[in-house]
C-alpha cells in the first residue's frame, strides 16, 4: 500500500482486500523501517490501532474512513504530545483537540502520529526543528522544505497517503514542491485555526499535503467549514471541491506575473515552466501576461508582519504555566529570561526580536504600519489581476531541494527568499496550490496555481486535469542512498 492514494486505499478497504487494522499495522511497519527520515516527532500506535479495529469501511463510508494520516505537530490533539518542533513544548500534552484534528477524526481517518516541522513553523527547510533535520526522501541529506517538512516527507516516502500542514508564507506549498507532492493553502479563514498553535495569526492557514489534487480535495472538504470558536473563520459551508472536480471549467485564462522575472530562473526550470504552460494550453487554457506592481515588496512586508505577530503570539511561553521552565531561575525576571532563552531556538529568537523591534514605540509607523499599507497594495494588485485572469501561475520556489546547512547559515535572509513566490498569497489571503511538474538535477520541482478568493474548486479542478494529462505526481523516490 506504500505510495497509494486515498482513492486507491479506499478501494482496497471497501473491497476488503485488507482491513483497516491490517492497513494500520502495515503503516507502522513502514514508519519504523523508515525512522531515519526523522519525519515524525511522536507516534500514536496504540490509539491508531484501537480506532482501526473498530472501523468497518463500507461503500458509503467517508472516503477518509480508515485512512492513515499524519498531523503536523502544531495541531493540538487531546492527550497527545504537541511540540510545535520546539524544546519549549517538548512535554506539552494539550487538554483539547484542534478543529482540524476533530474534523479529520470525525471523517474516520486515523492519525498515526505528529510530524516534524520547523520550530513554531518558522523556517523553509525544517532545519530549525528542535527534533532534528528531516531528510528529503528523494535524496538523503537534502532538505524536504519547510515548515511542514515532516508532513511532506511522510507522504513523499509513501508512509501515509495524506498529511496536514500549515502555511504562513509557503509552508505547505514549498515542501510539497521540494518533495514532488500536491499541497494547497486555502483562502484565509476556510479552515478554523482553533487549536492550531499560532505563528502569525493573520497569515496562518491549514491545508493538506497529498500525492494528488484529487486527494487534496478530499481532505480540504473534510477540514473546512465555519467554526464559531475562531472569529476569523469564514461563515461558509465546508468546501465541495471533490464533487467540483467533475465540473467543466472551460477556457480558463491563466496569468503569468511580469514581475516574477521567469528569465532569471535556471535554464532547466524555465524549460519545465514553459512545457507546463503548453500542457495548460492543451487543456483549453489561454496564457496572459499580467502585472502585480507591488509583488516584489512581499518578502520584506512579510518579514515585518509575521515576526510582529509572532513576537506577541509567543509571549505566552514564559515558563509560568506550561512549556519549558528553566531550573536556573532565581526571580521572576530570570525565570522569563532563562526559560525563553533555553526553550526557543535561534530562528524563533531572531523573529521575536525583529517583531519586538518593529512594534516598539517610535518604529511602529515606519515598519508595522507601513507593512500593513503595502499589504493592502498587494491585495489590490491581485484584485485587479483577477479581473483579467482566472488563475495565476508561477514556480513554487526558486530552486529544487538543497543540502542540509547549505542555505541561510551565514545570512538568514538567503532562506527567506525561498518564499519569494509563495508569500504574497498569504499576505492577500488567497488560495494557492503547488503540484509537481518535473525534475531538476533528479529532484522534483513544483508549479504554483493561485486563484481568487474562495476559488479552491477551480484550482483543484485544473490541477486534477493537469495530473490526468501528466505523470509527475506518480513518480516515487527509490531510497537508494538510504540503504
Which of 32, 91, 274, 315 lies at the binding interface for other proteins (CB under 8 A)?
A: 315
In the DSSP assignment, the letter for residue 142 is B
* Dihedral of the alpha carbons of 403, 406, 407, 410, in degrees to the nearest 10: 160
**126 counts as binding other proteins under rule CB under 8 A:** no
CA distances to 103, 139, 195, 264, 314 from 191, rounded to whole Å, are 10, 33, 11, 35, 22
**453 counts as binding other proteins under rule CB under 8 A:** no
Using an 8 Å Cβ cutoff, are 445 and 436 in contact?
yes
Whether residue 72 lies in the annotated active site: yes
Whether residue 171 lies in the annotated active site: yes
Distance CA 457, CA 464 (A): 10
**354 counts as binding other proteins under rule CB under 8 A:** no
The dihedral sign for the CA sequence 426, 431, 437, 443: positive
Minimum Å gap between C-beta 34 and other proteins is 29
Whether residue 228 lies in the annotated active site: no
Distance CA 121, CA 315 (A): 16
Q: Which is nearer to other proteins, 121 or 176 (CB)?
A: 121
**93 counts as binding other proteins under rule CB under 8 A:** no
Distance CA 299, CA 131 (A): 27
User: What residues are paired with 436 via a beta bridge?
Assistant: 446
Using an 8 Å Cβ cutoff, are 116 and 40 in contact?
yes
Residues 134-193 that bind other proteins (CB under 8 A): 193
What cell was used for 299? 518578502
What cell was used for 133? 533535520
**244 counts as binding other proteins under rule CB under 8 A:** no
Distance CA 387, CA 378 (A): 15
| Count of residues near other proteins by CB under 8 A | 46
Which range, of 75-83, 107-115, 251-259, 424-432, touches other proteins by CB under 8 A? 75-83
Which range, of 136-144, 164-172, 194-202, 440-448, touches other proteins by CB under 8 A? 194-202
Minimum Å gap between C-beta 346 and other proteins is 20
Q: Which is nearer to other proteins, 12 or 300 (CB)?
A: 300
Give the list of residues 6+ apart from residue 423 with CB closer than 8 angstroms, or none: 169, 170, 298, 299, 302
Using an 8 Å Cβ cutoff, are 421 and 448 in contact?
yes
Minimum Å gap between C-beta 185 and other proteins is 17
Using an 8 Å Cβ cutoff, are 174 and 216 in contact?
no
**107 counts as binding other proteins under rule CB under 8 A:** no
Which of 240, 291, 312, 470 lies at the binding interface for other proteins (CB under 8 A)?
A: 312
User: What residues are paired with 254 via a beta bridge?
Assistant: 287, 391
Minimum Å gap between C-beta 80 and other proteins is 13
Minimum Å gap between C-beta 298 and other proteins is 18
Which of 311, 399, 422, 450 lies at the binding interface for other proteins (CB under 8 A)?
A: 311
Q: Which is nearer to other proteins, 61 or 356 (CB)?
A: 356
Catalytic residue among 86, 98, 129, 171: 171
Minimum Å gap between C-beta 122 and other proteins is 15
Q: CB burial class (10 A; 0-12, 13-18, 19+) of residue 335? A: middle
Distance CA 133, CA 39 (A): 8
**98 counts as binding other proteins under rule CB under 8 A:** yes
Minimum Å gap between C-beta 90 and other proteins is 13
Catalytic residue among 51, 72, 139, 407: 72
Binding-site ranges for other proteins (CB under 8 A) = 74-76, 82, 84, 89, 92, 94-96, 98, 193-198, 200-202, 228-232, 308-309, 311-312, 314-318, 320-322, 332-333, 336, 356, 359-361, 364, 368
Q: Catalytic positions, please?
A: 72, 147, 171
Amino acid at each position: 500500500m506504500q505510495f497509494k492514494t486515498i482513492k486507491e486505499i479506499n478501494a482496497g478497504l471497501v473491497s476488503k482486500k485488507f482491513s483497516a487494522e491490517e492497513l494500520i499495522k502495515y503503516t507502522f511497519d513502514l514508519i519504523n523501517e523508515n525512522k531515519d527520515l526523522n519525519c515524525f516527532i511522536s507516534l500514536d500506535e496504540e490509539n491508531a490501532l484501537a480506532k482501526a479495529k473498530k472501523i468497518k469501511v463500507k461503500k458509503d463510508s467517508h472516503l477518509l474512513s480508515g485512512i492513515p494520516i499524519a498531523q503536523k505537530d502544531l495541531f493540538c490533539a487531546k492527550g497527545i504530545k504537541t511540540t510545535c518542533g520546539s524544546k519549549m513544548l517538548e512535554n506539552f500534552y494539550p487538554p483539547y483537540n484542534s478543529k482540524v484534528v476533530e474534523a479529520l477524526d470525525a471523517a474516520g481517518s486515523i492519525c498515526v502520529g505528529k510530524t516534524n516541522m520547523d520550530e513554531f513553523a518558522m523556517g523553509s527547510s525544517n532545519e530549525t526543528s528542535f527534533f532534528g533535520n528531516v531528510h528529503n526522501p528523494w535524496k538523503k541529506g537534502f532538505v524536504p522544505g519547510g515548515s511542514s517538512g515532516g508532513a511532506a516527507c511522510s507522504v513523499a516516502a509513501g508512509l501515509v497517503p495524506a498529511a496536514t500542514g500549515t502555511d504562513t508564507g509557503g509552508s505547505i506549498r514549498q515542501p510539497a514542491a521540494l518533495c514532488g507532492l500536491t499541497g494547497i493553502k486555502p483562502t484565509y479563514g476556510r479552515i478554523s485555526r482553533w487549536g492550531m498553535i499560532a505563528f502569525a495569526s493573520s497569515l496562518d492557514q491549514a491545508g493538506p499535503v497529498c500525492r494528488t489534487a484529487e486527494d487534496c480535495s478530499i481532505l480540504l472538504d473534510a477540514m473546512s467549514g465555519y467554526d464559531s470558536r475562531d472569529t476569523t473563520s469564514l461563515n461558509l459551508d465546508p468546501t465541495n471541491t471533490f464533487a467540483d472536480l467533475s465540473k467543466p471549467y472551460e477556457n480558463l485564462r491563466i496569468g503569468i506575473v511580469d514581475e516574477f522575472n521567469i528569465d532569471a530562473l535556471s535554464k532547466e526550470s524555465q524549460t519545465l515552466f514553459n512545457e507546463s504552460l503548453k500542457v495548460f494550453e492543451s487543456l483549453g487554457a489561454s496564457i496572459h501576461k499580467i502585472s502585480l506592481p507591488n509583488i516584489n515588496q512581499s518578502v520584506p512586508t512579510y518579514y515585518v508582519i509575521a515576526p510582529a505577530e509572532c513576537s506577541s503570539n509567543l509571549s505566552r511561553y514564559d515558563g509560568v504555566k506550561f512549556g519549558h521552565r528553566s531550573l536556573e531561575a532565581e526571580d521572576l525576571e530570570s525565570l522569563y529570561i532563562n526559560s525563553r532563552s533555553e526553550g526557543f531556538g535561534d530562528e524563533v529568537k531572531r523573529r521575536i526580536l525583529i517583531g519586538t523591534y518593529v512594534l516598539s514605540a517610535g518604529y511602529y509607523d515606519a515598519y508595522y504600519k507601513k507593512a500593513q499599507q503595502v499589504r493592502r497594495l498587494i491585495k489590490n494588485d491581485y484584485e485587479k489581476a483577477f479581473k483579467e485572469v482566472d488563475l495565476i501561475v508561477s514556480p513554487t520556489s526558486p530552486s529544487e531541494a538543497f543540502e542540509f546547512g547549505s542555505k541561510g547559515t551565514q545570512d538568514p535572509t538567503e532562506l527567506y527568499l525561498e518564499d519569494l513566490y509563495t508569500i504574497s498569497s498569504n499576505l492577500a489571503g488567497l488560495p494557492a496550490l503547488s503540484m509537481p511538474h518535473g525534475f531538476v538535477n533528479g529532484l522534483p520541482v513544483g508549479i504554483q496555481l493561485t486563484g481568487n478568493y474562495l476559488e479552491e474548486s477551480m484550482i483543484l479542478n485544473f490541477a486534477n486535469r493537469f495530473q490526468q494529462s501528466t505523470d509527475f505526481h506518480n513518480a516515487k523516490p527509490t531510497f537508494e542512498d538510504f540503504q
